[in-house]
Amino acid sequence: MNKTIPQTDQINTFSLTNRRILYTGAAGGLGHDTTLALLKAGAHVVGIDNDPEKIAKLQAAAKSLPEQRLNIVQVDLSNTNALEKTLSELIRDEPFDVLINNAAIYPSKPFEDFTLEEFRTVQAVNVDAAIICAKALLPGMRSRNWGRIINVSSITFYGGWENLAPYVQSKGALVGLTRAWAREFGKWGITVNAIAPGAFPTDAEKIHPNPDEYSQYVLDHQSIKRRGEAKDIANVIQFLASDAVGFVTGQTVNVDGGWIMN
């Protein structure tokens, strides 16, 4: 008897029909494909990004989809006043169901060369913006007794990489906030989970001087012997944004091809 084997290279769909999603850094290396996957799953996505070229590329890609449900706002997440103003306008239109705190900057140099001001800049984009977004969206989620918050942390929180002190600190903060928010928001039907991507070949990887050597290092450490792709992130984000995870909260899911196991 012939069996139909499901294709494993496709983005799987958990329905997100009419879910309204706020996605920071939506136009980035991992954000681009994930945004398209969320749109295909029926969601309305409002992206926040500050890179006009990447925004234009995402908008062009989204045009090929049957319905236009993408809105990208160009805002610098480190500008608290501008972000708060944008959010208050966005939530006035309609509340959000899902928040994905994904935008990040990742300057790299030895710890003693970072100024405190540089630490604060990383904190502003990678953590403070997430807090501001959560504060703005929480009342809407709470009023409808349903919400999903997904914080994007990093494999670097567990070790393995040098010269990323402010970034690693910020990714640890997101894991801490995931747990704290999960405990506080669970009673309102809101789940809060993090993902920790492994090593994906996006802009973030360009900080490594020898690409081939680095790629081999990654494969040697992963259980799955292929490089990660944006669709691997998209699949897990879709799952965490869906109804399927109503009983999973406070967790950090390692999306790294079986590298970190705890």
Instruction: Report the length, in residues, of the chain.
Output: 262
Q: Does 50 bind ligand NAD (CB under 6 A)?
A: yes
Q: Does 178 bind ligand NAD (CB under 6 A)?
A: no
In the region spanning residues 135 to 154, those forming contacts with ligand NAD, defined by CB under 6 A, are 152, 154
For the CB of residue 12, give the shortest distance to ligand NAD in the complex, in Å: 20
Site string for ligand NAD, 193-212 (x = CB under 6 A): ----x-xx-xxxx-------
For the CB of residue 78, give the shortest distance to ligand NAD in the complex, in Å: 5
Secondary element (H or E) of residue 165: helix 165-185
Q: Which residues, including other chains, have CB under 8 Å from residue 231's CB and lie 6 or more apart?
A: 9, 10, 11, 33, 37
For the CB of residue 93, give the shortest distance to ligand NAD in the complex, in Å: 20
Strands (E) located in 25-118: 44-49, 70-74, 98-101
Q: Which residues, including other chains, have CB under 8 Å from residue 241's CB and lie 6 or more apart?
A: 14, 16, 19, 21, 38, 43, 98, 100, 148, 150
Among 125, 127, 133, 240, binds ligand NAD (CB under 6 A): 125
Residue 212, token pair as written in the block: 């081939």
DSSP 216: H
Among 35, 86, 102, 242, binds ligand NAD (CB under 6 A): 102
Residue 51 vs 118, nearer CB to ligand NAD = 51
Q: In whole angstroms, how far apart are CA 18 and each of 47, 134, 137? A: 16, 20, 17
Among 46, 62, 77, 122, binds ligand NAD (CB under 6 A): 77
- Note the residues at the interface with ligand NAD (CB under 6 A): 25, 27-31, 48-51, 54, 76-78, 102-105, 125, 152, 154-155, 197, 199-200, 202-205
